Amino acid sequence: MTRDTRPPVRRIPAIRRSVLRTLPALRVRTIVKYLLMTALVGFFALPLVYMVTTAFKPFDELFLYPPRFFVRNPTLDNLQSLLAALSSVDVPFSRYVLNSLIVTTGVVVSTVLVSGLCAYGLVIHRPKGSGVILSLVIAALMFSPHVTQIPTYMVVNSLRLVDTFGALIIPKIAIAYNVFLMERFTRQLPFALVESARMDGARELRIFWRIMMPNIKPAWATLVALTFISTWNDYFTPLIFTTSQSMKTFPLALQLLAGGPAVANIGRAGAVAAATLVMTTPVIIVFILMQRKVIETMTYSGIKS
């Protein structure tokens, strides 16, 4: 309050002084910040670095104790043994990749649209019972999905979806957490934007597509990244919902190839390490593409809050 009562003439030098005073302190803080962040990089990058190096380790280095981070004699043996194992399966390798791509794309696109529309309906229209729906969403977040697997299987079975792409995509569209995320971000949308679009005679779907979605880009970019990763990595769902080999997805194929966890199958440890690397690469690419979108500043379109 005291600042406001000061005469305007004194205000400018006061700011300048404070800037000058904080400059050296800022520089020290910057150095500390970079040091801290670089140290944390070590912690975060460990699993990935280890995974990449392991994929190129020759057999004798895989079981070295104490374990070593980097490879002494990098080799492509692991990748070759993976390819050899893959070519011994009847179904071509590309089929698994295609299945994974279809399923992942289907789930990502439909869940973003369904959750987006739901958030739009809940926040902008507030229909009767939206409070109930929202508490339902929040309650749904808390239930462990693994336990409802068998009843879900019964539903999928009675809809005659088993062993189709539908079984892998449809049950994963209406996810409570996705709606929760979209709803929270939509609430922060400046309401005046929607009102002014209505004044201009924009239709509902147009408001959804042109006003809401671009404004909550960080939210759906996050959702795309999260859904892509969890669907791509998921092997539990295809394990239960598909029966024929030609409907299996990539992780499941790799899992079958590797014959269970690496500890149980020492002979194929190299192939497993290579397979893990191959599977992770698309995930990392998608994340790098999406994080750029997340970073893009939200548009404010002249609205002052």
For the segment 78-137, give every residue that binds another protein (CB under 8 A): 114-115, 117-118, 120-122, 124-128, 130, 133, 136
Single out the residue of 73, 103, 303 nearest to residue 193, CA to CA.
303
Residue 271 near another protein by CB under 8 A: no
Q: Is 43 or 267 the residue whose CB approaches another protein more closely? A: 43
| Smallest separation (angstroms) from another protein to the CB of 77 | 17
Q: How far is the CB of 244 from another protein (least distance, A)?
A: 20
Q: Are 19 and 33 in contact (CB under 8 A)?
A: no
Minimum distance, C-beta of residue 21 to another protein, in the bound complex (Å):
11
- The C-alpha atoms of residue 157 and residue 287 are separated, in whole angstroms, by 34
User: What would the x/- binding string for another protein be over residues 150 to 169, using CB under 8 A?
Assistant: xxx-xx--------------
Closest CB to another protein among residues 247, 273: 273
DSSP 260-304: SSGGG-GGGHHHHHHHHHHHHHHHHHHHHHHHHHHHSPPP-TT--
CA distance 136 to 266: 46
Q: Which is nearer to another protein, 89 or 256 (CB)?
A: 256
- Whether the CB-CB separation of 69 and 49 falls below 8 Å is answered with yes
Which of the residues 174 through 203 are near another protein (CB under 8 A)? 174, 176-177, 179-181, 184-185, 187-192, 195
Tokens standing for residue 118: 């739901």
Cβ nearer to another protein, comparing 84 with 192: 192
Stretch that binds another protein, among 74-82, 84-92, 93-101, 144-152 (CB under 8 A): 144-152
Binders of another protein in range 208-267 (CB under 8 A): 208, 218-219, 221-222, 225-226, 229-230, 232-236, 251, 254-255, 258, 261-264
Measured CA to CA in angstroms, residue 225 lies from 181, 186, 209, 287 at distances of: 13, 18, 20, 6
Task: Give least dist CB 111 to another protein, A.
Answer: 9
Task: Enter the tokens of residue 284.
Answer: 């990392």
> By C-beta, is 3 or 60 nearer to another protein?
3
For another protein, the closer CB: 85 or 272:
272
Site for another protein in 34-73 (CB under 8 A): 34, 36-37, 40-48, 50-51, 54, 66-67, 69
Check residue 14 for interaction with another protein (CB under 8 A).
yes
Nearer to another protein, 108 or 229 (CB): 229
What span, in angstroms and rounded, lies between the C-alpha atoms of 205 and 9? 53
Tokens of 218: 């960080």
5 is a site residue for another protein (CB under 8 A): no
Q: Which of 105, 246, 292, 301 binds another protein (CB under 8 A)?
A: 292
Per DSSP, 210 falls in state I
What is the C-alpha separation between 103 and 296, in angstroms, rounded? 28
SS (H, E, C) 103-144: HHHHHHHHHHHHHHHHHHHHHHHCCCCHHHHHHHHHHHHCCC
Q: Are 123 and 189 in contact (CB under 8 A)?
A: yes
Size of the site for another protein (CB under 8 A): 118
Q: Which two tokens stand for residue 180?
A: 């929760």
